[in-house]
Amino acid sequence: MEGRPDRVPEFVARDVMESVCERLLGGGFVLIVGESTAGKSRLAYEAMRVALPDYWLHIPSPGDEFHDLREAISPRRRHVIWLDELDLYLGATGLTVETLRSLLDGRRRAEVVVLATMRVREYDRYSARNRDVSDAATWRAGRAVLLMAENPIEVPRSWSDKELRRASSAADPRVTNAAKMSSRYGVAEMLAAGPELVLDWRRAATMGEHRRGAAIVSAAVDCRRMGLHRPVSTDLLGKLHVFYLQTEDRDRRLETMDEALAWATTTVYGSSSLLTAHADGGFLAFDYLIDQPFLPAVPDSSWTALLSEVEPVEAYDIGWAAVDLHRSDHGMVALARARDHQVANASYAYVIALGNSGRSAEAAAELHGIIGQRTAAAGADHPDTLQARHDYARYLGEAGHFGSAVAELNEIIPDRARTLGPDHPSTLASREFHGRYTGEAGDPRAAVDLLRAVAADQERLWGRDYLQTMVTCMHAAQYTNNNGQPTVAAEELQDLALRMTNVYGQDVPQGLNIRYEHARAIGASGDWGRSLRLFEELLHDQIRILGSRQPRIFSTRHQIALATGELGHLEAAVTMLRILVNERTELFGAHHRRTLATRLTLVRFLARLGQPALAFAEGRSLTADCEREFGSSHPLYREAATASTAGANPS
């Protein structure tokens, strides 16, 4: 092969090449969607060369204002605006429908083309069926931009037989070798050196001469995971990367920052590098790295350091990223800063982070006031008002007020069905929570029926392997277990866990929740030894993925203590539970329903340990707290009263 050895690999036309060219010639907004390293950007570039050879090319940097770009578009020329990785241009102050229209309107359609690429994972965040029900304003703004692309062009990671034949006959040996590896990886994935770069990064973190370089890459990857949409400055990478060095590496001589950045930005096969340098001096991590399933939880120190360096509008995006990653503690800090600087929608986002952090009663109280404000400003049927009502009911239920939550949802569901449609994702979300809180209120059989009906509608609309379908099926199995059928539930949950792993990978938070319910059902069926092993494995993975302060982790620790006690190790279980009560009290409050539930298990084990007086005293205190918080008809009050009586009269 002639030419420089690091030249870009030969381009092999994808099957959609002709369609992309036709769309470009038609002008307007053209969006190409596919997995990381599916070949989106190369396809866009080559199609642009073929279809728009005499157009002026504009490549704005993420975070730039679009005003200067509008001024630069001369009516005497034709222009193409390239937005590679479109998600970097969305967010609190990013691309809007109004901006997009201002770039395209007022000219003949073919005179200006906006050409964008987007990873399918990011695109799905804005799809109708995958809407995060709490991120209403951000979701609508981003989705409105995507809808302007009409029919996005999808580029599959796996190549068709025709594409493989074209690749096999290429003159470039790198392309023909990649075609031979197509049974495991996509051809573009191999040409982008994705798997090889991942190996280089992971190996450099533990051995060799580029440990600082590997730490810098980890810091840049986590900046993108934390919601920072612009290139990261050298100074910020210098501050963050120390959190990713092995302890022993911090005291040894490592390569300089310049040497580390040179290594991280070196291209492999002339195509990709771990970091990409931008004109302003910042660096972006290769998007292939961001989607890797082995990534651990972002360190607490990284969240704290990043938030001290960003603008308030960036703090808003970081806050939502924290909520998405189930790190509501950091989400609250970020969104509080955005709220204090009057960033649009930050106040509502803060309330959601507050509720997700375990402080559900406080969130419900805030939302009660927001409902009145939104009703007065926009009307009772406005989607934002309905969203606030849904979230109010959601956090009422999470706070333990199940009957009130069910009553609220009984009114919300018909209102959403009437205004949005019975099959709208928001309507189905309200129906799902209605089923769950019906079960928590003491009617697990009805909950199973309600949830199976929701799952059937989700499967009809979006398929059996749609994420939310599987989550709803998990809750149906959860209440099947609560209804006295743990063996049936365990079988359903084991199948769900396998399907979740096959479709979404083993580390998605929803998969962790399925494993939690499966281990709980195993314990309820009497196999406490296996249940304990499953919960201990789950706890390890939860901490690795979510960090140690996520509310769900405390539930897993509760179950570990329960299984330990059921296996006869009562003293160890009591010790675990006392520690957990203290931690839950500190984080969520003494009267949070999960704190009270841990106290209930403690009372039961104290009685079985042969300490009836202590069990009775703590049981009476617990019963009084449950009655004061929830009333005498609440399931938790009834269980506490029974446990207190049992403590006074041990068998």
DSSP letters, 557-617, are: HHHHHHHHHHTT-HHHHHHHHHHHHHHHHHHH-TTSHHHHHHHHHHHHHHHHTT-HHHHHH
The confidence score (pLDDT) of residue 256 equals 93
The confidence score (pLDDT) of residue 354 equals 94
Question: Could you report the average pLDDT of every consecutive run of 10 residues in the chain (651 residues)?
Answer: 55 93 92 89 94 92 74 82 90 80 72 91 72 58 84 89 90 84 70 80 87 96 94 96 81 86 85 84 89 87 96 94 90 96 92 93 96 95 94 96 97 97 95 98 97 97 93 98 98 97 88 97 98 98 88 96 98 98 93 95 95 93 95 92 74 49
The Cα 184–Cα 195 span in angstroms is: 11
- pTM metric for this prediction: 0.81
Output the six-digit token pair for 334. Answer: 């970020």
Considering the domain delimited by 17-157, tell me its CATH architecture. 3-Layer(aba) Sandwich (3.40)
* Domain ranges (residues) in the chain: 17-157, 193-309, 568-651
Question: Measuring CA to CA, which residue among 227, 204, 241, 246 is closest to residue 318?
Answer: 227
The Cα 248–Cα 253 span in angstroms is: 10
The Cα 558–Cα 546 span in angstroms is: 17
Contact 134, 345 (CB under 8 A): no
Query: In this structure, is the dihedral angle defined by the CA atoms of residues 50, 54, 55 and 58, taken in order, positive or negative?
Result: positive
The confidence score (pLDDT) of residue 208 equals 78
